[in-house]
Structure 1
Amino acid sequence: MKPYIYLRALKHAEHTVFCVSDGQKTYFDQQFNRPVAYSSGQQVKRSILQSLTDNLNVQMAPITFNYNITSQKQLENKEPWSPCDPNYVDQLLGGWMRAGDGVTKKRRSPLSISAMRPIHPLLAKVDDENLTFDRSDRPDNHPVNVRMAGSDKLLSEEEIEAFLTEHNRTLPRRNWIPNNARTSGLFVYDIAIDLRTLFSVSTNQHEPEISKEMIESLKSKGWIESENVFGKCLVLPKEEREKVIPALANALINWRITSNQARTFSLMETLAVAISDNANVLAAAIRAKLIDDGEKPKAKPIVDETAGADLFVTLPCSNYIVTEIESANALQHAEQKLINLMMAFDYENQE
């Protein structure tokens, strides 16, 4: 059995935003000369791990946030610390990096996760809209405070009225929120699962993933001493793997970006999933085809069951792609395929 599982999924997004801290993230596509929206691999990974821990009803690992107080009595933000503890499933599958506290410890995640981006630049768009925070319909219920710049003193009602009269102004109970980008279209993300390290933690102390104390703690909890292509390791016991694998399979397919505000919610429904041990066939199974109709280029989305991957197509996919292979239980079958592949790997005897 090959040690990698590759997954590509196609999602539909409708007038939404993938990140609300600084608005919708975009990059510029040089070939088609247009901005396209994306969700970073880090955000996709976080969403998957959140879905995973929710499925298992466990907490994410506690992260220690560090600050220094400078000589100017200011707080200086320092690097957060991970516990480097594979007992937490989000650490085991998400990896960690901890420096500045003795020997640096790092574990590369067994999940390699791409950004979620358009299946083709012509099959997604970014729109700007101006929003309002409006309470102008009932002005008496919503007071207005006015201060002179540089002062905390509120102007009296008489002073406000005098200012408005003198300068021919009004004070509406309305704020404009300009330049809010939203995106719609068809988006794909790719994931590679390294089965060799999925449930295995290296015990090498030259470039340590975990401390010696953690090694002994894991052994006491039934972790199995073994060896993989990277060297000696400890493997999560089978009964624990059998709890994690179904939850992971579900999270890889059914995750949602949960940081959206209410006005930007989109189902972001999964339209199709392709699974294989060959990354190249994924790109063929879910793809787009450029069409030149003589006026301007267009793109056509394609799901292709003959490309060599196991392809699972959902009912909503037929809204956007002509297909005859959609089914109501496609995602359940995709989950089961992932479960079967992860269960079949011999984690204890890799050599």
Structure 2
Amino acid sequence: MNTIYIRTLKRAEHTVFCVTDGQKTYYDPQFDKYIPYSSGQQVKRSLIDSLCEAINQTPSPTTFLFDVNKQKGLDEGEVYGTCDPTYADQLFGGWMKAAKGGKDRTLKRRSPLSISAMRALHPLLAGTTRENMTFDRSERSNNEVIVRDEKGNKLSEEDIISFLEGKDRSLSRKWIKPSNKATGLFVADIAIDLRRLFSVTINSFEPEMADSTIEKLKSEGWIESKNVFGPCLVAPKTLRDEWIKGLAKAIIDWKITSNQARTFSLMDTLALSISDNANLIAGSIRAKLSEEDSDKAEPIIDESLKGVDTFITLQAGGYIRTKGEKVNALETAEAKLIELLSAFDYENQLK
């Protein structure tokens, strides 16, 4: 087994992720509706943040370059990471460093984690609602109201009262632009390439790291080996054991966090499936159109598929017909992931 597939089913309630006009959506032509989603990049960022928290490591620093132009303004330059796999977010998240001018070699590592967008389990099982909002403090007697004229001068209280004559207008209430909120059942898929998970290629024709970084890793106990991609350095076992636990916990616990305090959702996990077969895992958590009403879909968690381990939490029973809910479902799923990630022979892949 070279690849582990994970499908996660989450429920979001009246929340916002991927903010643009309230909530980013895509159009589904078959069901003629707009569906909320969270991009794969945002899911990846959420997972990496959970990973760094789990292993108690500060994420790697990012370098932002700017160029001063002839008009003494700032032009945008390159942005790149450390390209150093001793940072977990770099090893698992990948990197690319392309220097301006083409004098230095481009360093590029593809992430061993392929991550999908978090999208609706079925177009009929998720949607958005439009919410009108106000910022209302009209009940408070100690508000300060400032009205400025066209020149920016502050009007007196008498001038304000005179100005408001004949106008039905409150000065202690502001209308906020309406925004969309997402609710429904959502799935996200992750594929873990075990061949590259803890291995960093040292192919000089397609470099992933600078020579100085390679020498540093060797001095820190990284092991020289080979895999299907060529010569590589493999993280030492002590580090693998520690980071496997952190990665498993992050895959189980990640959640999209809204940038708006008033739209928090637990975004709890209802079910999670693990397999080495992509086709089977897609069927383990799925939806089916109702035979009685084609405008309705029923979520399904299939616990009978061979080659798939499915874990169902207690709250899933409130939304899906299932009898397999367990109070320790996510702890069991985490232990299973640790077992699978630990079983792969990272140091002897070509034996």
TM-score > 0.5, shorter chain as reference: yes
- Tell me which amino acid in the other structure corresponds to 2:315: P
Aligned positions of 1:69-108 closer than 5 A: 69-100=68-99, 102-108=104-110
Which aligned segments of 4 or more residues in structure 1 are displaced greater than 4 angstroms?
A: none
Please, which moves more after superposition, 111-120 or 19-28? 19-28
Aligned positions of 1:1-351 closer than 5 A: 2-20=1-19, 22-100=21-99, 102-138=104-140, 140-149=141-150, 151-165=151-165, 168-293=167-292, 296-308=294-306, 309-351=308-350
Between the two proteins, what is the percent identity of the paired residues? 57
Per the TM alignment, residue 350 of structure 1 is displaced from its structure 2 partner at its CA by: 0.5
Per the TM alignment, residue 169 of structure 1 is displaced from its structure 2 partner at its CA by: 4.9
Please, which moves more after superposition, 188-197 or 178-187? 178-187
CA contact (8 A) 2:18 2:39 kept: no
Aligned residue for 1:78, secondary structure, equals: strand
Which deviations, in whole Å up to 9, do the C-alpha atoms of 1:280-300 show, x marking residues without a partner?
A: 001111000012425x42100
CA contact (8 A) 1:20 1:261 kept: no
CA contact (8 A) 1:19 1:260 kept: no
Q: Distance in 1 between matches of 2:192 and 2:125?
A: 28
Per the TM alignment, residue 208 of structure 1 is displaced from its structure 2 partner at its CA by: 1.1
Which deviations, in whole Å up to 9, do the C-alpha atoms of 1:5-31 show, x marking residues without a partner?
A: 000010111111113465211001100
- Tell me which amino acid in the other structure corresponds to 2:99: G
Q: Distance in 2 between matches of 1:80 and 1:265?
A: 31
Q: Distance in 2 between matches of 1:205 and 1:186?
A: 46
TM-score, L = length of structure 2: 0.95
Which deviations, in whole Å up to 9, do the C-alpha atoms of 1:174-201 show, x marking residues without a partner?
A: 1111221001111000000000000011
- Tell me which amino acid in the other structure corresponds to 1:274: S
Q: Distance in 1 between matches of 2:257 and 2:319?
A: 24
CA contact (8 A) 2:24 2:38 kept: yes
Q: Distance in 1 between matches of 2:224 and 2:238?
A: 16
CA contact (8 A) 1:55 1:247 kept: yes
CA contact (8 A) 2:21 2:179 kept: no
Q: Distance in 1 between matches of 2:124 and 2:203?
A: 48
- Tell me which amino acid in the other structure corresponds to 2:128: V
Q: Distance in 1 between matches of 2:276 and 2:114?
A: 14
- Tell me which amino acid in the other structure corresponds to 1:298: K
CA contact (8 A) 2:273 2:310 kept: yes
What are the ranges of 5 or more consecutive residues in structure 2 without an aligned counterpart? none
Report the aligned-residue RMSD. 1.5
Q: Distance in 2 between matches of 1:168 and 1:248?
A: 60
CA contact (8 A) 1:146 1:154 kept: yes
**Count of aligned pairs between the two proteins:** 346
Q: Distance in 1 between matches of 2:234 and 2:86?
A: 11
- Tell me which amino acid in the other structure corresponds to 2:118: M
Q: Distance in 1 between matches of 2:95 and 2:115?
A: 15
